[in-house]
Amino acid sequence: TTAFVNGDFLPLESAAISPMDRGFLFGDGIYEVIPCREGRMMAFTRHMSRLQDGLDAINIDNPMTTDDWHTCLEKLRRSAAADDCAIYLQVTRGPASTRNHKYPATSEPTVFAYSYSIPAASDGAPSTATGLRVITGRDRRWQRCNIKSVSLLGNVLHLMEGVEAGVEEILLFNDRDELTEAAACNVFITDGDRVITPPLDHQKLPGITRSVLIDLMRRDGGWNIEEAIITRQQVRRADEVWLTSATKDIAPVIEVDNRSVGDGTPGPLWSKAQTLLYRHRF
């Protein structure tokens, strides 16, 4: 596997950064995961714009132009063995001279990127779907989850709550029992023909899969798509529950807290939505 570190391409095994890197010491950095499907990077512009928002939010200068990023990531994509892969990239504040919470006014950001293979995309046919099982829990992460920070301990611990319960993910609810997101995905539910996802705020990552899907549904017409608060009760009564992420596309949830969602198989709206995403990616 080829890695990119601060301007150089080299084998991942020989890539190295300083232990004084603020990304390592403080989780002081921003990351992106860009899906590549059938040998094409998906929604590159949206990913670049979210990266810029994250860097702006924590006051790191973007060390590369969009063109540089594109050239670099395309090279990593071409070096990947699989047509379906994810490109991971992170920009940290770089190495510190001594450990101090306070960061200097200027620093040399550290850039790291590499690609790894992910499962092939489903075309939306029910036979190609893997239904996921999830539990629910209280969202105990920080109040700035809209920033795609490399500090993911809160998400890691939440995901492990699911793993320890024998399931794949966890749906998180805030103190008012409103759905925020999952440990590493955004969430959609359906109720009859309504497709609902929570509105964006500081409690959720503005997922690119989420935004692409909403735009496709609005453009396609015939969808009843809303961004609205979702209560725990609505999740319990939902006909369908979906998780979205760069690496999962739209994944149907077939069980929440040991109870079947609908009839316990991926639903018809999931199938239609995944087909829409599959056919009209941009």
Interface residues with ligand PDD (CB under 6 A) are 33, 155, 181, 184-186, 205, 207-210, 244-247
Residue reference for tokens 């829990």: 137
Q: Which of 132, 134, 158 is nearest to 145 (CA)?
A: 158
Count Cα atoms within 13 angstroms, Cβ side, for 3.
13
Whether 272 is a known active-site residue: answer: no
CA distance 36 to 6: 22
Minimum distance of ligand PDD from residue 168's CB (angstroms): 14
Q: What is the CA radius of gyration of the chain?
A: 19
Cβ proximity to ligand PDD: between 187 and 254 the closer is 187
Residue nearest to ligand PDD according to CB distances in the complex: 207
Smallest gap, in angstroms, from Cβ of residue 142 to ligand PDD?
Answer: 12
Burial class (CB in 10 A: 0-12, 13-18, 19+), 278: middle
Angle, in degrees to the nearest 10, between helices 208-220 and 44-57: 130
Nearer to ligand PDD, 109 or 207 (CB): 207
Q: How far is the CB of 90 from ligand PDD (least distance, A)?
A: 11
Catalytic: which of 75, 102, 148, 272?
148
Tokens of 207: 């997922």
Q: Which is nearer to ligand PDD, 115 or 186 (CB)?
A: 186
Least CB distance to ligand PDD at residue 37 (A): 13
Closer CB to ligand PDD, 96 or 212, in the complex? 212
Active site residues: 148
